[in-house]
Amino acid sequence: MVSLFTDWYKRNFSDPSAVTLLVILLSTFLFIYFFSSLLMPVFVAVAIAFLLDLPVNRFRYIGVSRTMAVVIVVSAFVAIALIAILGLMPVIWQQGSNLLQEVPHMVSEGQSYLLTLPERYPEIITVEQIDTVIKMVNEKFIEWGQVILKASLNSLSDLVALIIYFILVPLMVFFFLKDKKDLLASFSAFLPRDRRMASQVGNEMNQQIMNYIRGKVIEILIIGTVSTITFIVLGLQYAVLLGVLVGLSVLVPYVGATIVTLPVMLVALFQWGTSAEFGYVMIAYGIIQALDGNLLVPLLFSEAVNLHPVTIIIAVILFGGLWGFWGVFFAIPLATLVKAVLNAWSSTQGEFTQE
């Protein structure tokens, strides 16, 4: 037993760079796990800095100084973000409020329809089954109402946090981009010198994260815009709200599209019933999802490491449970990180075996 453990230890940790990589990963994980709620604005700023690094480099390529390039890019980003927020938020808020006010009417109509099922299909459905379903639905709506009430009571603190985000995040993004080399050099000074495997994994992940963030933002904008325009053309109610939800659903691969299908289907169903218009909306929505999965995603993420769908779903569940929204957002890069670490470790084992 002792010899088995000794062989395993030598095979995995005989290389000092492997030990360094393990220490860095464990330290980073523990730091993020315990301080993620406090340092979330920093993580948001880092993600945005990854997104804006490419246009800054493009300005540098044409001869603009780095400071001026950062000023131009960050100013343009803040301006576009403000225009989008001030233009979309009032519409989304109004449509969301109208939808919430209409939910009781939708529930009432749904219950009336369910109560007619035992008369139509007495051999399959009983009144007791329908009563049980209605009771469960009412309990769920009571729970959701309590959640909404709690969220409204916390809205003041959320507003203060949002104001802090709007002030601190752009400042941090500016300095992250402007002093990128100095910050990386200062951080590297605290790391051990023998970090060959860590550098290998870091270089691979740096490119992967940049490609992922840019691709995911572009995918959200394209899918959200196309969905909103399609819903408006088809005359669907709450088109902007539903279009934004469809755009944000791409954050969670496979699962997001499945979840957001429900509100789109219910709104169309209560608006038109089982008519041709309902079918047109669902066909258009299906086409958008098919083009996203089979055309847009391969184009945007062609350089990303291929991951099995089961791996992606597990990563979303695991990292989303650990870090919430940002864990879901970075689920694929984090899964890619795990894969890169395993690949680097397997190469070390191969070298040990050859020796």
Q: What is the mean pLDDT of residues 258-262?
A: 85
Q: Which residues of 174-199 are buried (b: 16+ CB within 10 A; e: fewer)?
A: bbbbbeeeeeeeeeeeeeeeebbbbe
- Mean model confidence pLDDT for the chain: 77
Hey, which of 116-125, 159-168, 271-280 has the most confident mean pLDDT? 271-280
Q: What is the mean pLDDT of residues 280-294?
A: 89
Q: Residues 6 or more apart from 248 whose CB is under 8 A from it?
A: 220, 224, 256, 260
Question: What proportion of the chain, given as a percentage, has pLDDT over 70?
Answer: 77
Residue with tokens 């008369």: 119
- Give the whole-angstrom CA distance, residue 270 versus residue 286: 19
pLDDT attached to residue 147: 58
Would you give the DSSP letter of residue 192? -
- Give the whole-angstrom CA distance, residue 335 versus residue 101: 41
Q: Is residue 301 helix, strand or coil?
A: coil
Element (H, E) at 179: none
Query: Is residue 353's pLDDT more than 50?
Result: no
Is 55 or 196 the better-scoring residue by pLDDT? 55
Residue with tokens 């992250």: 176
Q: What is the mean pLDDT of residues 152-175?
A: 72
Taking phi over 0 as left and psi of -120 to 50 as alpha, with beta for the rest, 273 belongs to left
- Give the whole-angstrom CA distance, residue 285 versus residue 266: 13
- Give the whole-angstrom CA distance, residue 133 versus residue 118: 13
- Give the whole-angstrom CA distance, residue 73 versus residue 4: 56
pLDDT attached to residue 150: 59
Query: Is residue 164's pLDDT more than 60?
Result: yes
Which of 322, 168, 321, 328 is CA-nearest to residue 254? 328
Domain segments of the chain: what residues?
194-355
Q: What is the mean pLDDT of residues 152-158?
A: 53
Would you give the DSSP letter of residue 38? T
Asked if 284 and 234 count as a contact pair (C-beta separation under 8 A), the reply is yes
For the whole model, what pTM was predicted?
0.70
Q: How confident is the model at residue 145 (pLDDT cuts 50, 70, 90)?
A: low
Asked if 56 and 70 count as a contact pair (C-beta separation under 8 A), the reply is yes
